[in-house]
Amino acid sequence: MTLRLSAVLTLTAAALAAGNAAADPGRAPEPAKPVDMERLYSGRWLEIARTPMSLTDGCEAGATDYAMRDARKVKVHDTCQVGRPGGRTRAIDGVGTIQDPGTNAKLRVRYNFVIVWDYWILDRAEDYSWFISADPKLEKLWIYTREVPDAALRAQLVRRAAELGYDVNRLEFPQQPPA
């Protein structure tokens, strides 16, 4: 009986190891839901959480404004205020191209003809009040909402990012103007 239990445990451990090896921990999961371009890629989104990077050092009150240009192109205008909400505005513009027409959850943005980033909409609210986005390697992550969230919603969104495989201990939470 002990030999049989040992064999079962060994086979179970091997199967789990093989399953974990098949999942790539350095890659973002595929987007959970399709995206309605007119609902997501329009208007202003507030940057609630993000991965630290030199590009956003000193940035508070981050936001992204989207405007559809055609069926596959989106104008992207990213802003933040330096030092504090209400500080000097820093901005960068780009043009995004949908990489997965029909699903519309993978956007490649070219900023100033030099910087190119891929953004995958990993999950979103049914009512389009929030979304979580990451690069395909899951090195960068952003959480956006339409309005400044309360503490409970922010915690829920951080938990969802963790469920998607992101190390949420790396996130920073830029200040937003008072609601």
What is the full per-residue pLDDT of the chain (179 aa) written as tens digits?
333 433 333 333 333 333 333 345 578 899 999 999 999 999 999 999 999 998 889 999 999 999 999 999 999 999 999 999 999 999 999 999 999 999 999 999 999 878 999 999 999 999 999 999 999 998 999 999 999 999 999 999 999 999 999 999 999 999 998 76
Q: How far, in whole angstroms, is CA 102 from its chain's centroid?
A: 19
Give 85's DSSP letter: T
CA distances from 72 to 88, 98, 117, 132 (A): 32, 5, 16, 20
User: Would you state the pLDDT for residue 9?
Assistant: 32
What is the reported pTM?
0.83
Domains and CATH numbers, the chain: 37-165 (2.40.128.20)
Tell me the HSE value of 124 on the side-chain side, using a 13 A CA sphere: 23
For residues 176 and 85, the answer to whether their CB atoms sit within 8 Å is yes
Q: What is the largest CA-CA distance in the chain?
A: 72
Q: If you compute the radius of gyration of the chain from its CA atoms, what whole number of angstroms results?
A: 19
